[in-house]
Amino acid sequence: MDEKVFERLKVMHKNLAGSGIILIDGIISEEIGYEIEQVIDKVAESKKHADIYINSPGGSADAFLSIIAKMDAMSKNGMMFTTMCLDMAGCGAMLLLAAGTKRVCLKKSRITMFQPLWIKDSEKTSSDEGMMEAGMAILKTKNKIEELFGKLTSKGSKSLKGELFEARTITSGEALEAGIVDYIAG
């Protein structure tokens, strides 16, 4: 990511944090995920409620799982999170949407199920041992995502769990039915 763009993003997040607003926009890398965790900490210093606005196709599974773990820890300290899908919540962003205390999507929102995880580092997958290690890492992450999905979506986990890793987009109504959101706005 361009350093100037990242710096502008950090300034924007810090300015919005004073109002209890966190914006998840675009593809979320581990670097941006870490920045979002810092913003959650900043919001928690002065407020017990944060509004997380989501418009993201997804990104790093590790980044989203880490953000959700941070939200879970803060929730145990009494912090509440309203998550709202403004347009798109894909892959990890779908889990983030489901992790809110109050979960909302707009009527025209698009929620995309997880797509298969692939290892980007060709050096790690150039040997049989590396391929086996990468496969085990993917399986471990997949199991963690399935477990988290079941925990966050008590209503719909059985109906969508088998479809969780199919690349398909569901409507806001299907997201409500699945327990990913509690309300549909607009």
pLDDT at 173: 93
Pairwise CA distance, residues 48 & 168, whole Å: 35
Query: How do residues 110-158 score in pLDDT, each as one tens digit?
Result: 998 766 445 455 455 556 677 777 778 777 877 788 788 888 887 545 5
pLDDT at 153: 82
pLDDT at position 48 is: 82
39-70: pLDDT as tens digits: 898 888 887 899 999 999 988 888 999 999 99
Count CB neighbours of 75 within 10 A.
14
Q: Check residue 107 and give its pLDDT.
A: 95
Q: Are the C-beta atoms of 83 and 149 separated by less than 8 Å?
A: no
pLDDT at 119: 47
